Structure 1
Amino acid sequence: MKSKRYPKEFKDQLIQEAQEIGNVLQVAKRHEISPKTLYGWISQSKHKAWQHTNGEAKKTAVYIPSNQEFKQLEKENDKLKKLLGEKDLEIAIMRDLIKKKNPGFQTG
């Protein structure tokens, strides 16, 4: 299989993008190149930021909801907790009824 040649500008752009995102695999997939190729470009580059980072260090994207969204999520969470509690209570009552009707029956 013949290897592709990529212009230096393209390599630098992908190295910069991987540095900003903090996820080499994601950048490689987005541009349809092998992650191994991108890692090779990074190791060959003179980008100081990459030379000083630990290989285990990772950046993660975090979604932070607005105050309104957060309040809505809290309400939904409270509602779901209440519903779960009600269902747990229903199950406990049903098990008690089954045990009373059929003393030899094993539940749970």
Structure 2
Amino acid sequence: MTEAETEAAIVAAGKTAPRLTPDDIDNAIVSEDYYVFPGTTLTVCALTLRNGFTVTGESAAASPSNFDWQIGQQVARRNAREKIWALEGYLLKQRLFDQAA
């Protein structure tokens, strides 16, 4: 199930409690940078979040002949973005905990 499909299912189910959405994750990102290590297929994506924290994601082709800069960039970004869910989830849970205290 894609993020969009999951979001649609949550909305259709009428769930209204505080939660993260794909837009929340995208809005946490303020900049992105990429680097391919010379002589390798290793692509690193660094996503900078609104508070200045940096999250990284990586991708690498097993065969240099399969390396494609754009595909490597997309995979590395997706891997970095995936890490933001856990960080933002923790932050939301802490906010809810603090409100209840």
Normalising to structure 1: TM-score of the pair?
Answer: 0.27
Larger gyration radius, structure 1 or structure 2: 1
Could you say which structure has the greater relative contact order, defined with CA pairs below 8 angstroms and 6 or more residues apart? 2
Q: Which structure has more helix as a fraction of its residues? A: 1
